Amino acid sequence: MFETLPPSAELTALDRLVGTWAVTGGAEGTVRYEWMPGRYFLIQHVELTQFGEPVTGMELIGNLRPFGEPTGADVVSRYYDSIGNTFDYVYELVGDKLTIWAGAKGSPAYYEGTFSADGATATGDWVYPGGGGYTSTMTRI
């Protein structure tokens, strides 16, 4: 039989994302986070316009636990969108600082943002290697 372990503390820290957020900055629109039953995976629903193009997507966020293996240490995700992209990320929330790396933890492409004291906003920047990126603000609605 499989051993049932509770969701990781690193994953449950992302509970503060649950809800619907208005996104402004380099991408505009809304994102909504909800727990899958069991609270082992956080689902993000994305409805944004970026670079003048509408993008609808879904992201599954959680710890990997392949068959017969221990639970992975990092909170990882895979994003799928309406134009055929699949992107992998690693999430880390420490205090009020949220970091989302594109690809592997420590990647030169990442988002780093900070939640406001009341948790109603998160503001930060997407950083891309070689320059570029944009500021992004999420406001709870």
Q: Total domain count for the chain? A: 1
pLDDT for 15? 97
User: What is the three-class DSSP state of 88?
Assistant: strand
The enclosing domain of 93 has a CATH number of 2.40.128.20
23, part of any domain: yes
Closest alpha carbon to 114 in 96, 135, 87, 99: 96
pLDDT tens per residue across span 21-53: 999 999 999 999 999 999 999 999 999 999 899
CA-to-CA distance for 68 and 78, rounded, in angstroms?
A: 21
Q: What is the mean pLDDT of residues 99-115?
A: 97
Contact assessment for residue 126 and residue 101, using Cβ atoms and an 8 Å cutoff: no
3: confidence class by pLDDT, cuts 50, 70, 90: low
pLDDT at 4 over 90: no
CA-to-CA distance for 126 and 23, rounded, in angstroms?
A: 13
2, part of any domain: no
4, part of any domain: no
User: Which residues lie closer than 8 Å to 15 by C-beta, 6 or more apart?
Assistant: 35
77, part of any domain: yes
42, part of any domain: yes
pLDDT for 132? 87
pLDDT tens per residue across span 49-91: 998 999 999 999 999 999 888 899 999 999 999 999 999 999 9
> Around Cβ 55, how many Cβ atoms within 10 Å?
16
